[in-house]
Amino acid sequence: MKKKSASQSAFFKLRLVLGVLLCFAGISIVLLAQPRSPSAQLGNSQPIVQAQFRGVLPVVKFDISPPLRDMKPLPAKGCTLRENEDREIMPPLAAPVGPVVPDPVVQRVLGKIGIPGPIISFDGNSNMCGCVPPDPNGAVGPNHVVTMSNLHFQIFDKSGNSLFGPAANNTLWSGFGGDCQTDNSGDPVVLYDQLADRWLLSQFTASGPTYFECVAVSQTNDPTGAYFRYAIATGNNFPDYPKAGMWPDAYYFSTREFLNGSQFVGVGAYALDRAQALAGNPNPTIVGFLAPPNPLYVVGDGLLPSDLDGQTLPPNGSPNFFVGSQDDNGGYGAPNDALNLWKFHYDPVTPGNSTFMLTNTLPTQPFNSILNATCTSTRACIPQPGTTTLIDHLGYRQRPLFRLAYRNFGSHESLVTNQSVNAGTGPNGAVSGIRWWELRDPNGSPVIFQEGTYAPGLTDGIHRWMGSIAMNSLGDIALGFSASNGTNPSVFPSAFYTARHDGDPPGQMTLGEGSIINGTGSQTTTLHRWGDYSAIDIDPTDDTTFWYISEYVPTTSSIGWRLRIGAFNLAGGGVSPTPTATATATATATPTATVRPTPTPRIAPTPRPRPTPFPRP
């Protein structure tokens, strides 16, 4: 046998090395092509979970209402089984399932810059039918403020004068027929469509066996006028906790769906063709998906659709964004703390080509959604003055709170949302705070641009929870929330707010704290329910003034909540409203508008000039 030359030997070795490398490359390609768990695809823009396409859904019923102003406001009948909505997916946790990591982005003190007091603050409807929780929310237009709760709605001018109501929510569907007319079940949502200058109001039905989302779209910019009315069936799936958002191509809805009202089967996602709905098309295109709870933590306790603020549209062809949260201490098996980003692409030309998928799992700084180990009923958590009754913290829910506010600044796109969390240990034990997030580049390389946990209660002992967050055209962010503490200091459940200017240090609410209303009573219901969500909106007239719709308790009782509506502008003023000291109400009104020109004692010092912007990271 001939010996190989040195050159032949070298050539042989080179071929061997190349063969091994090609083999490894082939194995890598095969492995990369395999499905991976969500935790393994952090930040990946490829589909992680593809939702089940439910098809193009028919509108079960459509009509055009008479002008609302000509309709008789219906009284809400006695409230039945409010626990029927916002149902449990799994038995409540008694404590976190794993070690609690200290919150690394917590804000322990009030911002040092003073925050302007409210421009106006006035009452909405009270609890006239014994329902808890109220689920206060609403929206603002150029001339009106529309509020909804369980189980009433009311329309005001921007000086606090009542123009219609309070009336039972199903007044909107008087004469419509079917469950939308007869079933006043709540979980309402109000949207103002600033692109079309129109209104959308909705609530679900709960009687079954066929369940509906009832949607009313105003014919004009006058919310007391006529409405296009739609009954959209979710079949045998009870559409718990519906939330809505406006996007240029569609109105998007999310639900938590329970087969026959009992078995959790996933999160529903729906697109109602916006142009067709605004035109009063009797059969608008409605595309539906069901995101299965497999694994459960990718849907959690619900997802929020993005809701467009401002006049600048998303980039052409942009999907609507749905966001959920996951907590590795929350009991659903999440491998890490994260935000789950879903994308809903609605195809109006070929609806069957529409898609809804989880594309990104974005790791957050550690947070813990379980308030404390003694909050064993999950809802009995927040202390109040003068009673041992505790009220709902909401944090154990693995979901962000309404709204998921979207804004396109041209240079970047932003989404902001929030969730109640355990912020750590304060003067009297575990303290509730609010984790908030700003996401950027959601349809490119999404990133959590900034996040923080607002929790001055670690210093002053006051619990802050049930937030709602929005960003105005200047890039300023405002956060409205509930606040309460049993003793030292004694704070009845109240509606407060804080904010930051664009360019301030990331993750910090740099302004102090304002009060829409200081509560004067505690809620003693043994159901422990507080609102499941509230709403902060941007005034479309100047695109800078914030309006906050929340709740408080005027007098200690089991069913004593009342809605409160207020507006504030971080520049210290605003173009609307122009209130008088006491607004004259119509015959149907219950509230009295009051001007609150000065902050409460807990508000930070007198405002000083806006600081030099902090350099962006």
| CATH assignment of the domain containing 223 | 2.120.10
String of b and e for 226-260 (b: at least 16 CB within 10 Å)?
bbbbbbbbbbebbbbbbbbbbbebbbbbbbbbbee
Average pLDDT over residues 264-292: 98
* Omega of the bond leading into 284 within 30 degrees of 0 (cis): no
Number of domains in the chain: 1
150-171: per-residue pLDDT in tens?
Answer: 999 999 999 999 999 999 999 9
Q: Does 13 map to a domain?
A: no
Phi, psi of 198 (to 5 degrees): -135, 170
Predicted confidence (pLDDT) at residue 8 exceeds the cutoff of 80 = no
pLDDT at 588 over 50: no
Q: Edge-to-edge strands of the sheet including 413-426?
A: 49-50, 355-363, 338-345, 320-326, 304-308, 401-408, 413-426, 429-440, 447-454, 106-107
Has residue 497 been placed in a domain? yes
Structure confidence at residue 326 (pLDDT): 96
Least confident of 183-187, 412-416, 493-497, 524-528: 524-528
Within a domain: residue 150?
Answer: yes
Whether the Cβ atoms of residue 398 and residue 445 lie closer than 8 Å to each other: no
% of the chain with per-residue pLDDT over 90: 74
Q: Is 484 exposed, middle or buried (0-12, 13-18, 19+ CB in 10 A)?
A: buried
Write b or e for each residue in 45-63: b if 16 or more Cβ atoms lie within 10 A of its Cβ, otherwise e. Answer: eeebbebebbeebebebbe
Asked whether residue 560 is assigned to any structural domain, the reply reads yes
Distance from CA of residue 243 to its chain's centroid?
A: 7
The count of other CB atoms within 10 Å of the CB of residue 90 is 11
| Whole-number average pLDDT of the chain | 86
155 in a structural domain: yes
Answer for the pair 399, 240: CB distance below 8 angstroms, yes or no.
no
What's the CA gap between 539 and 549, in Å, rounded? 13
Count of residues for the chain? 617
Q: How far is CA 107 from CA 111, 451, 470, 600, in A?
A: 9, 11, 19, 21
pLDDT given at position 572: 82
Closest-CA residue to 201 (of 132, 143, 129, 152): 152
d(CA 461, CA 428): 7
Residue 89 lies in a domain: no
- Residue 27: inside a domain: no
pLDDT in tens, 370-379: 998 778 666 8
| pLDDT beyond 80 at 612 | no
Inside any domain, residue 541: yes
CA distance 286 to 271: 6
Q: Which residue segment(s) compose the domain that 249 sits in?
A: 51-77+109-594
Global pTM exceeds 0.95? no
